[in-house]
Amino acid sequence: MIRLSFAPMEGVTGPVFRRVFKEVFGGVDTFYTPFLSANQNHSFKKREKREYLPYDPMLVPQVMAADPLDFVWAAKLLKDAGYSEVNLNLGCPMATVVSRKRGAGLLKDTEVLRRFLDAVFSQEGLPDISVKTRTGFETSEQAAQLGKLYAAFPFCEVVIHPRAREEFYIGRADIEAFKLMRAELDCPVCYNGDIRTTGDIERLKTDPGGVDHFMIGRGLLADPALALKIKGVCETEDRRRVYDFLNRLWDAYMGELSGERDVLFKMKELWYYLEWHYPEEAELIGRIRKSRSAAEYRSLTMQVLNR
């Protein structure tokens, strides 16, 4: 049976978004938090605490750290908060992250990464640890080497985004690199990358084959009903449901953020992805993304979706 997870998208898939998405759409089995940053102070910011508190049984916290003992601290704290699994972020490609040897920055030197993982798994009292990784730093030629490295540690799952860090999100995901890494692993594997349609899932079920866990990020932001379509719950487009989702999300953000301007910024960011799913509405969506008031935004959104 297919399992679907919602990939963490920094600044987008926070607790408010997740709550409203569950209410209106659903179809997703697991959500991952945008990364929580473990640091030398051994404390999370209030904003980060809101990501994982109160406890959510559908949630896997994702942690980023440069020091293995900082990650261990975070993993144990999250276990105490009720979470049986914590995900190690080795995938974030952003320059500010990589320069601090976090995220995909740890992929640059496999010996440094090995020492990091040795230090983590030498500790007792940890929850299950999964990892979200890319298939290399400069190129995906590292895929098999990284797979062998991960296989030496007791990860409960390896989530593979088959692009190198240097590719960011450009170009097509490298299925061959995914296969090379997967071939080295004997733990459960999740595929992440370029899933935007039910056809993409059907293709991936046969190539690379045998994968039953898929993580989707941008595809679910573009088409919030995609998980339901993949699971056969709905087949037809329902713009009114998307319209209801966006209205509820607006109202929820109004109760959390400091004012209309901040909410408008949040909603326009989401339309960057929705535009992929409605290319025939490019002119109106372009105006939505340039809107300067709630009234203008709501009027244009109604023209695109309230049909």
pLDDT level of residue 157 (50, 70, 90 thresholds): very high
pLDDT digits (tens, 9 = 90+) for 243-300: 999 999 999 999 999 889 999 999 999 999 999 999 999 999 999 999 999 999 999 9
Residue 47: is its pLDDT beyond 80? yes
pLDDT of residue 287: 97
Q: State the average pLDDT over residues 71-80.
A: 98
pLDDT of residue 205: 81
CA dihedral 7, 111, 95, 137 (to 10 degrees): -70
pLDDT digits (tens, 9 = 90+) for 213-244: 999 999 999 999 999 999 998 877 789 999 99
Residue 97: is its pLDDT beyond 90? yes
pLDDT of residue 307: 65
How large a percentage of the chain has pLDDT more than 70?
100
Strand order in the sheet with 3-6: 36-37, 62-64, 85-90, 128-134, 157-161, 189-192, 213-216, 3-6, 30-32, 59-60
pLDDT digits (tens, 9 = 90+) for 8-44: 999 999 999 999 999 999 999 999 999 999 999 999 9
pLDDT of residue 258: 87
pLDDT level of residue 104 (50, 70, 90 thresholds): very high
Of 199, 208, 164, 160, nearest to 181 (Cα)? 160
Of 168, 192, 169, nearest to 181 (Cα)? 192
- Report the alpha-carbon distance of residue 56 to residue 93 in Å, rounded: 27
